[in-house]
Each structure stands twice: as structure tokens, then as C-alpha cells.
Amino acid sequence: MDFAFSEEQEELGRTVRAFLAHTSPETETRRLMEAPEGFDRALWRRMGTELGLQGLAIPEEYGGAGCGPVEVGVVMEEMGRALLCAPFLSSAVLATTTLLRCADEDARKRLLPGLATGELVGTLALTEDSARWDAAGVQLTVRESNGSWLLTGHKMFVLDGATADVVLTVARTGDGVGVFWVDGDAAGLTREPLPTMDPTRRQARLDYRDVPATRLRTHGDGWDLVSEVLDRAAVALAAEQVGVASRALDMAVDYAKVRHQFGRPIGSFQAVKHLLADVLLEVESARAAAHYALLASENEDPELPAVASLAKAFCSDAGVQATEENIQVHGGIGFTWEHPAHLYLKRAKTSQLLFGDPAYHRELLARRIGMEKDKGAA
């Protein structure tokens, strides 16, 4: 399998990098970290209408570009490098993938055009107090009343949950797990932003009190759909983690060339050379893992579940290592609020936990390749 991107995909990456360099410099990132919504809606719409980024994976019949996971991964990597403050992961990956892989054509027709242009922001509300990423963690309940569905309970750590226009909510039903479409301003829905380690990626608590919802039609049990979405989201996040790690490595190398100790650049010291060489090896290995996973997702490879867990675990560790070593190379200045190194570390640490930490995915990988009996199969 050829891990290399095509010339068109490489050009997409260059275009997005140039766009983000102009529209999302560090000063803008720091401004949006303090803004109420956490992102610029005008820029979000420009990304959808001028570049078509939110609609990359959406078929042309719904107003998208008809591309696939590889193109989304290319964009995610560049967004990771820029620490973009925008709901791309929640809306263009989680919500969009859920709609594309469900069996509800009506929901696709009604929601995907708005998601593609950036007119709408979507998200997937899954985790609760247990912070579990499996079916057992779903406790929010739903009941049917006069032909309508009403949700009661709460969700935690919902990406961009306080600002999303469309909240696809995973709930416990009488026949298993279902996915329900809820309007962001629905009656009975209360949304509270949560304090987070990473201020560049917002999370929220959502409280449901008999919130009216529409159930998405699915192919079989709703958890099968959610599991497919999580695997593909983990792959997209792995690509973003490569971008974070790559940028951290570049920052460390650039600083090692200009910072002098004892009359010479610190990059000439053997200890620093070895440290940066180790990080380079991790970053390039993570890039290979992410690219392989993106291709597996693109090709609907039956090995995708295992490959997704492998990529998420490896890229999570690589992202944290690269950002930690970047701070070490910078020394005292790397620990200050004024330097951006800590922002990349915070993104790496929160991404490490998102969709399950490396230990969770290694255990999941072992089960998926048959090395360990699935604990839920007893």
C-alpha cells in the first residue's frame, strides 16, 4: 500500500496551511481562547463557502465536495499544526460521519447541506460522568410520548456542545442504543461550558429534561453506528495529532539552532541532537500510522477497527512526547504563558484522552485482533 498522498492532496494541504497562516496566527488563537463561543463564526463560514473544508467528505448531492477520509485527514493535520480554534472535529467529522453512515436519508437531506457550508455546527453527545467510550457508558434515557421522543439525563465533555446547532445524542432505549437528533436551542436543553485544560477546544455539559428529539434510522443497533463513527473520528484525530507533534518538533529544531550556550547553538550538543532525533522518529512513525489508517478508512478496509486503535494509541503518545520535549528544549521560556509551547502540550494531552486513552485503545486492539476475549461478549 502506498502511504504517500497524491499531488492533489498535497496541494490541498499547502492551500490549507497558507490559509490558516493568514487567518489563524497565534494572536488569533489566543483571542479566541478567551472569546465566549471559542471560534469565529465568520471564519467558519468562509472555510465552508470559500474552501469547502467542512463539506470535503460530504457527497456532491448534499452540497459537499465528494472527497473522503484522506482529504479530511490532510486538513486535520494542518489544523493541528495551527491549533485552529474551530469545531471541525465535532462538526465535520463526528456529526457529519454519523449522518453519512446512518440509514436516515431525510436527516441527511435536511442537515448535511448546512453542515457543508458552515451555516450549521454539529456535534455528537456520547460520554457521561463515567467518561466511558463504550455502550455501557450510555445511561441517558429516552421515552416515547404521543409519537415523539423525549430525552432525559445529561452528557459530559461534549465537544463544542455549548455552541452546536445540531446535537446528535446517543441514548439508552428499550431495544439497546439509539442516536437522536436534537436542535441546539430545543426546549428543556441546558448547555454549560466546562473548564478544560485545552482552551482551544471547547467542551460542555448538556442537561436534558424531556427534550424533544428525532430518532435517526440506523442499520441495526445504534451502537454499531456509533462504533463506526468513533473509529473514523479516532483516525481523523490521529492525523491532527501528527500535525501537533510535527509543529512542536519544528519549533524545537528552530530554537535549537538559535539558542546559544557556551558560545555555540544548543542544537550542536549531542544530548539535544539525540533528543530531537528520537522525536523525529516518533513523529514520522506516527505519520505513517495515521496515513495507513486514513487509507484503511478510505477503502472501507475490514481491518479499520484494529488500525484505528493502533493509530490513535501511537499518535497520542507521539504527540505528547513531541510537545513535552519541545518545552524541554526551550528551557525556562518554554514554561511561560507567553510562549505557545504549552498550548501544543495541552492540545496533545487532551487529544490523548479523547475517544479513549492509549491504554484503552491497546486493550481494544488486542480484542479486535483476537488476542484477548471481548469482556462484553460473556
Q: Rounded to whole angstroms, how far apart are CA atoms 170 and 225? A: 10
pLDDT tens digits for 265-288? 888 888 999 999 999 999 999 999
Mean per-residue pLDDT, 347-372 = 93
* 77 neighbors 243 (Cβ within 8 angstroms): yes
DSSP assignment of 85-109 equals -S-HIIIIIIIHHHHHHSS-HHHHH
Instruction: Write down the pLDDT at residue 268.
Output: 82
Q: Are strands 260-261 and 264-265 parallel, antiparallel or unpaired?
A: antiparallel
Q: Cell for 112?
A: 448535511
Q: Rounded to whole angstroms, how far apart are CA atoms 54 and 65? A: 9
* 206 neighbors 158 (Cβ within 8 angstroms): yes
- Please, what sign has the CA dihedral across residues 52, 58, 60, 63? negative
- HSE, CB side, 13 Å, CA atoms: give it for residue 288: 8
Helix (H, G, I), strand (E, B) or coil at 343: helix
Mean per-residue pLDDT, 16-26 = 95
The residue to which cell 478567551 is assigned: 34
Residues 6 or more apart whose CB falls under 8 angstroms from that of 350 comprise 196, 197, 198, 201
* Residue 120: count of CB within 10 angstroms of its CB: 20
Q: What is the dihedral of CA 184, 343, 238, 180, to 10 degrees?
A: -10
pLDDT band at 376 (very low <50, low <70, confident <90, very high): very low
Among 101, 114, 86, which Cα is nearest to 16's? 86
Instruction: Write down the pLDDT at residue 373.
Output: 61
pLDDT tens digits for 320-341? 999 999 999 999 888 898 999 9
Instruction: Write down the pLDDT at residue 288.
Output: 95
Domains and CATH numbers, the chain: 7-121 (1.10.540.10), 123-221 (2.40.110.10), 223-377 (1.20.140.10)
Helix (H, G, I), strand (E, B) or coil at 8: helix
Q: Which DSSP symbol is given to 217?
A: P
Instruction: Write down the pLDDT at residue 106.
Output: 95
**Please, which residues bridge with residue 124 across strands?**
168
Inform me whether the pLDDT recorded for 375 exceeds 70: no
Give percent of the chain with pLDDT exceeding 90. Answer: 88
Helices (H), 259-357: 270-298, 304-330, 341-353
Q: Which DSSP symbol is given to 164?
A: -
Lowest mean pLDDT among 56-70, 101-115, 251-265: 251-265
Between 2 and 56, the more confident residue is 56
Residues 6 or more apart whose CB falls under 8 angstroms from that of 344 comprise 83, 244, 247, 248, 251, 323, 326
Q: Report the predicted TM-score, pTM, of the whole model to 2 decimal places.
A: 0.94
pLDDT tens digits for 223-234? 999 999 999 999
- Please, what sign has the CA dihedral across residues 92, 97, 100, 102? negative
Helices (H), the chain: 7-23, 26-34, 41-49, 69-82, 88, 96-101, 105-117, 222-258, 270-298, 304-330, 341-353, 358-368
Instruction: Write down the pLDDT at residue 279.
Output: 96
Mean per-residue pLDDT, 237-252 = 97
Instruction: Write down the pLDDT at residue 22.
Output: 95
Inform me whether the pLDDT recorded for 378 exceeds 50: no
pLDDT tens digits for 92-144? 999 999 999 999 999 999 999 999 999 999 999 999 999 999 999 999 999 98
